[in-house]
């Protein structure tokens, strides 16, 4: 099931989504799929950010007393605690350009990321910071020449509070 990155995963679970020209609610889609399966349950298989969407969907299904509609969830490469690459993408547009900037430049990608709620769901959680070696982000001398992140973040980012301080 495709979804729109312009929305946060919680919004996608609460609002309707466009699937193959039809508008539906994810909860209704789960109900529909479960009603036609042999065991009246569905198995959800996700990749990457889809795992975060499945997690938000399960929270919503549980609130509605319908979590019994899901048999199991299989997560493939899902950033359950977030990923530091999201920080680099938001700060600099790192690894976001397409065709060396001919189709999408780093600065345009950075602007897209800043204005795409789905991106913020990928930022490292407090649990991520608690389980990895610190600091998670260090600003190199080259970066400090271009961007004045030191004013906002000091020399590095080693906890979630620092990440969201500004």
Q: Encode pLDDT of 50-98 as tens digits.
A: 999 999 999 999 999 999 999 999 999 998 888 888 887 787 777 776 7
Q: Is residue 1 part of a domain?
A: no
Find the domain containing 106 and state its range. Answer: 84-163
| Contacts for 123 with CB less than 8 Å, ≥ 6 apart | 82, 83, 86, 87, 90, 163
User: For strand 137-138 and strand 70-76, is the pairing parallel, antiparallel, or unpaired?
Assistant: unpaired
Q: Which of 55, 76, 97 is the last residue of a domain?
A: 76
Binning pLDDT at 50, 70 and 90, where does residue 19 land?
A: low
Q: In Å, how far from its chain's centre is CA 33?
A: 25
Q: Is residue 19 part of a domain?
A: yes
Q: Which residues in 107-158 belong to E strands, given as ranges?
A: 137-138, 156-157
Per-residue pLDDT tens over the stretch 100-138:
767 778 788 888 888 888 788 888 888 898 888 878 888
Domains contained in the chain, number? 2
Q: Is residue 63 part of a domain?
A: yes
Query: Higher model confidence: residue 159 or residue 68?
Result: 68
Residues 42 and 103 in one domain: no
Residues 48 and 94 in one domain: no
Specify the pTM: 0.76
Q: What was the pLDDT predicted at 75?
A: 94
| Angle at CA of residue 42, ends 55 and 29, nearest 5° | 75
Residues 93 and 148 in one domain: yes
User: How far is the C-alpha of 111 from the C-alpha of 29, rounded, in Å?
Assistant: 33
In this structure, which long-range contacts are made by residues 10-16, counting pairs with CB atoms below 8 Å and at least 24 apart in sequence? Answer: 10/56, 11/117, 12/53, 12/56, 13/53, 13/56, 13/57, 13/59, 13/60, 14/60
Q: Is residue 4 part of a domain?
A: no
Q: Is residue 28 part of a domain?
A: yes
Q: Is residue 18 part of a domain?
A: yes
Question: Quick one: which H or E segment has residue 106?
Answer: helix 106-114
Residues 52 and 110 in one domain: no
Binning pLDDT at 50, 70 and 90, where does residue 18 land?
A: confident
Residues 66 and 27 in one domain: yes
Q: What is the mean pLDDT of residues 30-36?
A: 96
Residues 99 and 42 in one domain: no
Tokens 């679970």 — which residue?
A: 13
Q: Is residue 134 part of a domain?
A: yes
User: How far is the C-alpha of 86 from the C-alpha of 116, rounded, in Å?
Assistant: 12
Residues 22 and 64 in one domain: yes
Residues 67 and 128 in one domain: no
């Amino acid at each position: 099931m495709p979804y729109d990155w312009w929305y946060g995963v919680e919004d996608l679970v609460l609002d309707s989504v466009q699937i193959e020209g039809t508008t539906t609610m994810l909860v209704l889609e789960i109900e529909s799929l479960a009603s036609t399966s042999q065991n009246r349950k569905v198995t959800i298989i996700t990749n990457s950010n889809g795992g975060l969407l499945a997690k938000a969907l399960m929270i919503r299904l549980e609130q509605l007393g319908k979590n019994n509609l899901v048999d199991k969830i299989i997560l493939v490469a899902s950033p359950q605690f977030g990923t530091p690459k999201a920080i680099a993408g938001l700060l600099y547009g790192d690894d976001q350009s397409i065709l060396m900037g001919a189709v999408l430049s780093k600065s345009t990608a950075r602007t897209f990321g800043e204005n795409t709620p789905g991106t913020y769901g990928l930022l490292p959680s407090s649990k991520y910071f608690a389980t990895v070696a610190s600091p998670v982000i260090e600003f190199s001398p080259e970066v400090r020449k271009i961007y004045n992140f030191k004013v906002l973040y000091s020399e590095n980012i080693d906890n979630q509070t620092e990440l969201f301080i500004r």
